[in-house]
């Protein structure tokens, strides 16, 4: 379980980093989304990985055996904030495209 999850995090981080270093705004937005998946999963994984033990109290389960709720709460906020930043970035991207006429991250085509 942990092995797969960490490999997955690694792959998504790699893809995300690669994409945010690219010159097109759309690549950067996709890259940021991938990076945020990876980071969310990482934070989530810090609390330990347990199956079928959601942190919902009931009378017949010991609280200590449930999975860690703190990273979950953190990631929940992170997901929502991630959505907000994606939206903001998308709009900045569109505005920049409207003002400069291209979709390069610097607003002008690079002199290669």
Partner 1 sequence: MPFLGSLASAFILNTTSRDLPVAVAATVTACCLALCILAYPNVVDGNVLRFEAEWLPQFGLNFTLRMDGFAWIFSTLITAIGLLVVLYARYYMSEDDPIPRFFSFLLAFMGAMLGIVVSGNVILLSVFWELTSIFSFLLISYWHHNAAARDGARMALTITGIGGFCLLVGMLLLGNITGTYDLDKILASGDMIREHPLYLPTLIFILLGALTKSAQFPFHFWLPNAMAAPTPVSAFLHSATMVKAGVFLLVRLWPALSGTYEWFFLVGLAGMLTLLLGAYFAIFQQDLKGLLAYSTISHLGLITTLLSLGSPLATVAAIFHMLNHATFKASLFMAAGIIDHETGTRDMRRLSGLLRYLPITATLAMVASAAMAGVPLLNGFLSKEMFFAEAVETHADSWLDRILPYVATLAGAFSVTYSLRFIHTVFFGPKPEGLPKSEPHEPPHWMRFPIEFLVIVCLIVGIVPSISIAPFLSTAVMSVLGAKTPEYSLAIWHGFNIPLLMSAIALIGGVLIYVAIRRYLATCEDGPPFIRRLRGQRIFERVLVAVSWRWARWAESRIGTRNLQPQLRWIVFIGFLAGLLPLWFAGFEARPFVFTGVDPAFAVLWVLGAGMSLAAAYLAKYHRLAALVLLGGVGLVVCITFVWLSAPDLAITQLLVEVVTTVLILLGLRWLPKRNAQLVDQMTIRARARRFRDLVLAVSCGIGMSFTAFAVMTMPVPDAIANYFLENAYSEGGGRNVVNVILVDFRGFDTMGEIAVLGVVALTVYALLRRFRPAADSFAVPEQQRIQARFDEEQPERAPGDTVRDYLLVPSVIMQWMFPVIITFAVYLFMRGHDMPGGGFSAGLTMSIAFLLQYLAGGTRWAEDRIRILPLRWMGVGLLTAMATGMGAWLLGYPFLTSHFQYLDLPLVGKVPAATALLFDLGVFMLVVGSTVLILVALAHQSIRINRLRAIEAAKAEET
Q: Which of residues 31-90 bind partner 1 (CB under 8 A)?
A: 31, 33-34, 37-38, 40-42, 44-58, 63-64, 66-70, 72-73, 75-77, 79-88, 90
Q: How far is the CB of 23 from partner 1 (least distance, A)?
A: 6
Q: Does 112 sit near partner 1 (CB under 8 A)?
A: yes
Question: What distance in Å separates the CA atoms of residue 35 and residue 28, rounded to the nearest whole number?
Answer: 10
Q: How far is the CB of 90 from partner 1 (least distance, A)?
A: 5
Total residues at interface with partner 1 (CB under 8 A): 91
Question: For residues 90-111, b (16+ Cβ closer than 10 Å) or e, as one string?
Answer: eeebeebeeeeeebebeeeeee
Q: Does 1 sit near partner 1 (CB under 8 A)?
A: yes
Q: How far is the CB of 38 from partner 1 (least distance, A)?
A: 7
Q: Does 111 sit near partner 1 (CB under 8 A)?
A: no
User: Hunting for tokens 């810090």 — which residue is that?
Assistant: 46
- How many CB atoms neighbour CB 25 within 10 A? 21
Q: How far is the CB of 60 from partner 1 (least distance, A)?
A: 13
3 state DSSP class of 105: coil
3 state DSSP class of 47: coil
């Amino acid at each position: 379980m942990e092995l797969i999850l960490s490999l997955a995090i690694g792959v998504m981080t790699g893809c995300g980093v690669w994409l945010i270093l690219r010159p097109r705004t759309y690549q950067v937005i996709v890259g940021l989304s991938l990076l945020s998946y990876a980071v969310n999963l990482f934070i989530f994984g810090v609390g330990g990985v347990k199956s079928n033990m959601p942190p919902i109290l009931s009378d017949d389960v010991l609280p200590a055996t449930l999975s860690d709720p703190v990273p979950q709460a953190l990631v929940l906020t992170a997901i929502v904030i991630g959505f907000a930043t994606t939206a903001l970035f998308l709009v900045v991207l569109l505005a920049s495209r409207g003002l400069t006429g291209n979709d390069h991250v610097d607003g002008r085509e690079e002199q290669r």
